[in-house]
Amino acid sequence: MLEYVLRHLGYVACDETTKLKVQDMMERGKTFLSQYDPGINWDEPNGTQKGLLKDYCLYEMSNALDDFRKNYGADLIDLHHDFLARSESADADNVQAEQK
């Protein structure tokens, strides 16, 4: 995931300091995005989650996180709705399993 974000931020080759800086940004981005979907599996994020994390890092590098929230508000709402839908589906599956 680090290489994916570095590549999309324009880093072809970078030193360890830059990698650590980007890793820190990624951790803050994961924390932020997990507010909308606490169930994200960061070991295997889907395309939307990966893209939002990459874009979060891009906006953070530009000191424009307020713009990220504005520009990606609909995507963040979609992310949260996906989480709610998965949660409701899991709850329904649990109820059916308990009834058997």
Give the contacts of 69 (CB within 8 A, at least 6 positions apart). 76
CA distance 78 to 42: 18
Q: How does pLDDT run across 15-51, given as a tens digit for each residue?
A: 999 999 999 999 999 999 999 999 899 988 888 999 9
- Domain positions in the chain are 2-91
CA distance 55 to 51: 6
pTM of the prediction?
0.83
Q: How does pLDDT run across 43-74, given as a tens digit for each residue?
A: 888 889 999 999 999 999 999 999 999 999 99
Under 8 Å between Cβ of 28 and 44: no
CA distance 56 to 62: 10
List Cα–Cα distances, 51 to 28, 29, 76, 82, 87, in angstroms: 15, 11, 12, 15, 22
Instruction: Identify the pLDDT of residue 47.
Output: 86
